[in-house]
Amino acid sequence: MKKPLSILAVFSLLFSFASADESEFRTATIDLGIVVSDLDASMKFYTEAIGFTATGEFTAAKEVTKESGLSAGEEIVIKKLALGKGKGATTIKLMQSAMEKSKKSDQTYITSSLGFSYLTVHVNSTKVALERLKKAGVKVLAKGPALIPGGNVALTVVKDPDGNFVELVGPADHK
């Protein structure tokens, strides 16, 4: 499973948006699945640099991945991470293909490719987020954090080990 592969964001969006008929959905959150080239490096990035917590793992059996159309029929180990606790926590699921060489999408800018392009994480302190990024050895893009016009909000953008954009949005308390 340590074989490096390119990424392809496989988003397993479990449509659990809040609606008038809340009985239609089990939760009001979605899970995001991300295919990565190096599972260990991505786990380190999302836990140490961003602040997610590892919450477990599971294996999707060959039969399930093939019959559902998720893959050509490979067993996939999926690592779960949460941002927050309880039913309202955001969950991402990291996985790495052992069979296929996944193709990397164009991540030059968030508008370079169609589909899901970035993850936004809302933080209570931009200063604390920047300290965590620095400690983890993750560089902020461009001149960031950038102040968002009309308020006291800063936008900090980084890229994960596969080049996917991750936005950190929080108070402009970084100076």
- Tell me the per-residue pLDDT of 9-64, one tens digit each, with 9 for 90 and over: 222 222 333 334 556 876 778 889 999 999 999 999 999 999 999 999 999 888 88
Percent of the chain with pLDDT over 70: 85
- Tell me the per-residue pLDDT of 97-156, one tens digit each, with 9 for 90 and over: 887 777 888 888 888 887 788 899 999 999 999 999 999 999 999 988 999 888 899 999
- pLDDT of residue 164 exceeding 50, the answer is yes
Res 79: pLDDT: 97
Write the Ramachandran bin of 51: left for phi over 0, alpha for psi from -120 to 50, otherwise beta. left
CATH 3.10.180.10 placement within the chain: 118-171
Res 10: pLDDT: 28
| CATH architecture of the domain formed by 118-171 | Roll (3.10)
- Tell me the per-residue pLDDT of 94-108, one tens digit each, with 9 for 90 and over: 999 887 777 888 888
Please, what sign has the CA dihedral across residues 19, 20, 23, 24? Answer: negative
- pTM for the model stands at 0.78
